[in-house]
Structure 1
């Protein structure tokens, strides 16, 4: 079984954006900005893939470890799984993107109301680890369509982002 074409295209787009981000090391605050279409599409792609995992991946596949950390309101931290990441992406708010070395780390935070009742405060996770886990969870094969992957990678470059 393979991923449906929409999932495949979303995955390809997110990988292309990650390659572009990797060229610009630093820490970036996520802002609600309608003028930056590529950043908005990247956020939509991450959320779409998170929803797809929650709705279609098996419970076993959702236990795939992801490079990252979940911080609770009491300050304790734990390793994360694909399920942790997808739940926090769906329910959390993107706060910042850290580009360092060969990886991008996304940080999502919880609402103050949820934190005040003892829920999680922040999750940070590797984009590479997340997208790589989708090979198993959503049956997305890496680079099985050069035309589509190449087209997704060229789109942001053509638009000057």
Structure 2
């Protein structure tokens, strides 16, 4: 199974030892790792535009996204940002979409696919998304985001 609402920690509380397929935890497509299902490895549920996940310290992530947005807009591209509720006001209005609060990962998970579809309705050619914690439900969120981004990650 892929990471989801029922976290690895929850499974371990009930089952004890739980092994996780390396394809599930990988942050990149690695040669030699054979996924047991296409959804565990390859890009899917992806917006038409290029989705880039930016990870690092919050201030650096915001600064990096602002710079990339500026650069792509200057080149004439339609750009959007997917941000947490806590940082959404750091970006210019009109291009930012709040995915939910970092304090409530359930709100982020619930809105992820809707916001990715919204990027297509918007016609965004480049989408920059803040990364989220990679534990508990955050692991499921990042798993889906990484697949949607085709593992395109930038360190801030």
- The normalised TM-score by structure 1 is 0.26
Structure number with the higher strand fraction is 1
Q: Relative contact order: is structure 1 or structure 2 higher (C-alpha 8 Å, sep ≥ 6)?
A: 2
